[in-house]
Amino acid sequence: KIGISVDPKERLINLNTGNPDKLAVYYTTKYGEYKVLEHTLHEICKDLHLRGEWYEINESQLEGLISAW
């Protein structure tokens, strides 16, 4: 999931409720223009899009995405 949250730990708890897969937070950052960043990441990952803010992305792809920022 690529998204924004005021409280990522609480968001993770909520997302894990009823989810058959174990979810984990891979990376968080504070960014002033967070809506622009979120939109940009969604655009970069559009070929990996599943639905909503959910993406099929592996660890190597995540590392590449994060290192670009």
pLDDT in tens, 8-65: 999 999 999 988 999 999 999 998 999 999 999 999 999 999 999 999 999 899 999 8
Q: What is the pLDDT of residue 51?
A: 94
**Partners of residue 54 on adjacent β-strands:** 51
- Whether 21 contacts 35, CB under 8 Å: no
Q: What is the pLDDT of residue 18?
A: 84
The pLDDT of residue 69 is above 80? no
Q: Which residues contact 31 (CB under 8 A, 6 or more apart)?
A: 37
Q: What is the pLDDT of residue 68?
A: 82
Task: For the chain, give the number of residues.
Answer: 69
Q: What is the pLDDT of residue 66?
A: 87
